[in-house]
């Protein structure tokens, strides 16, 4: 039997356990994946959403996984007594521990890839964890210096040049080297997704891509030179294009991949379409996640929708089947 995916439960005070319990109604997912988290919390989530599959704890990835049970590798502090929907340091520590255990299994290939339920950045900070999110944890543990976040749905595939930093800092961080790295990773991701010669469109930073310097020089002095260098390497890169029209053009099929300059510029268009997937580029293993957060207001109610988690698992399977990480 091939190596399974590892599904981390995310912040146990959020909707992570419920969306994991929901997708594990599918016998194919139960057979092809293991959960990493807290067994008691997952059993509680199964009761909330009506999944009567037994949760079986295992210290290692089982060689044979029956489709009737949910196999779980336990780690982290006990969290079943935590209230739902509240920021808590213990929950932040637990979510961090789940991710680290998954990385321990992914690096040697014991699991084929990681799919992460959402964590809460404030809870992790309360636990003394310095990383602002999954992407940075994964990159640090994998020891990679060139990495990026890609958000994707059926219509768009968007790679971010900068990720979890204040907008002012994102503008200050932009450099030709950073921009070129994002373009290269976008092309690499496009190839992994089956595009023979990915068309990479690069969004401008400023309104109207700077209007030839009228609204700022970053597009002229940083982004355009990186695009020129990428083209010299044989990458089909173009831009910088105005951000207010680029995503509609990509959605209509003019481009295969988009490089966005900062977090919200890239994520708003993808999340607006629903059921998006977050893919970390540049890692030595596959990692995907849903495109939403912990949804504390509805945690524990059974109202959470698991569509994005199911899509993230399907996307991870697609990448694994295609030969590995993008």
| Closest to 309 (Cα-Cα) out of 3, 18, 11, 72 | 18
Answer yes or no: are the C-beta atoms of 149 and 158 closer than 8 Å: no
What DSSP line would sit under 229-264, residue for residue?
HHHHTT-EEEEEEPHHHHHHHHHTTS-SEEEESSHH
pLDDT at 122: 94
Residue 158's SS3 state is strand
Q: How far apart are CA 17 and CA 118, in angstroms?
A: 10
Domain spans, the chain: 1-143+275-326, 154-273
Q: In the predicted model, what is the mean pLDDT of residues 229-258?
A: 96
Q: What percent of the chain has pLDDT over 90?
A: 75
Residue 128's SS3 state is coil
**Cis bond leading into 235, ω under 30°?**
no
Q: In the predicted model, what is the mean pLDDT of residues 122-133?
A: 89
- Other C-beta atoms closer than 10 Å to the C-beta of 63 total 6
The architecture that CATH gives domain 1-143+275-326 is 3-Layer(aba) Sandwich (3.40)
Encode pLDDT of 28-78 as tens digits: 999 999 999 999 999 999 999 999 999 999 988 877 777 789 999 999 999
Query: What confidence category does residue 1 fall into, taking pLDDT thresholds of 50, 70 and 90?
Result: low
Q: In the predicted model, what is the mean pLDDT of residues 117-134?
A: 90
Q: Which residue has the tokens 């998954």?
A: 102
Residue 276 in this model has a pLDDT that exceeds 90: no
Q: In the predicted model, what is the mean pLDDT of residues 78-92?
A: 94
Residue 119 tokens, joined: 């964590």
Interior angle at CA 290, CA 313 and CA 96, nearest 5? 95
Which CATH number applies to 154-273?
3.40.718.10
Q: In the predicted model, what is the mean pLDDT of residues 307-315?
A: 93
Residue 15's SS3 state is coil
Encode pLDDT of 210-235 as tens digits: 788 888 899 999 999 999 999 999 99
Answer yes or no: are the C-beta atoms of 245 and 257 closer than 8 Å: no
Residue 325 tokens, joined: 């990480």
End-to-end CA distance of the chain: 23
């Amino acid at each position: 039997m091939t190596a399974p995916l590892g599904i981390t439960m995310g912040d146990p005070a959020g909707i992570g356990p419920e969306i994991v319990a929901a997708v594990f109604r599918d016998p194919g997912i139960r057979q092809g994946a293991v959960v990493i988290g807290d067994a008691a919390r997952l059993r509680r989530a199964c009761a909330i959403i009506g999944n009567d599959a037994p949760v079986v704890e295992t210290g290692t990835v089982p060689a044979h996984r029956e489709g009737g049970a949910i196999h779980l590798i336990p780690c982290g502090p006990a969290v079943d007594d935590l209230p739902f929907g509240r920021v808590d340091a213990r929950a932040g520590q637990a979510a961090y521990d789940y991710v680290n255990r998954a990385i321990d299994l992914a690096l040697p290939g014991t699991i084929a890839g990681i799919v992460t339920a959402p964590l809460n950045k404030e809870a992790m900070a309360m636990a003394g964890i310095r990383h602002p999110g999954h992407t940075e944890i994964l990159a640090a543990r994998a020891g990679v210096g060139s990495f990026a976040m890609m958000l994707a749905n059926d219509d768009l595939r968007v790679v971010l040049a900068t990720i979890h930093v204040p907008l002012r800092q994102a503008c200050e961080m932009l450099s030709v080297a950073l921009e070129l790295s994002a373009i290269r990773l976008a092309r690499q991701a496009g190839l992994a997704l089956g595009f023979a010669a990915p068309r990479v469109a690069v969004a401008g930073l400023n309104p109207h891509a700077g209007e030839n310097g009228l609204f700022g020089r970053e597009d002229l002095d940083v982004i355009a030179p990186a695009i020129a260098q990428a083209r010299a390497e044989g990458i089909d890169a173009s831009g910088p294009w105005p951000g207010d029209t680029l995503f509609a053009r990509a959605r209509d099929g003019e481009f295969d991949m988009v490089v966005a300059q900062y977090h919200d510029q890239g994520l708003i268009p993808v999340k607006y379409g629903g059921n998006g997937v977050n893919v970390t580029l540049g890692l030595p293993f596959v990692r995907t996640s849903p495109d939403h957060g912990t949804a504390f207001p509805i945690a524990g109610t059974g109202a959470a929708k698991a569509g994005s988690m199911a899509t993230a698992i399907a996307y991870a399977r697609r990448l694994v089947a295609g030969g590995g990480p993008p």
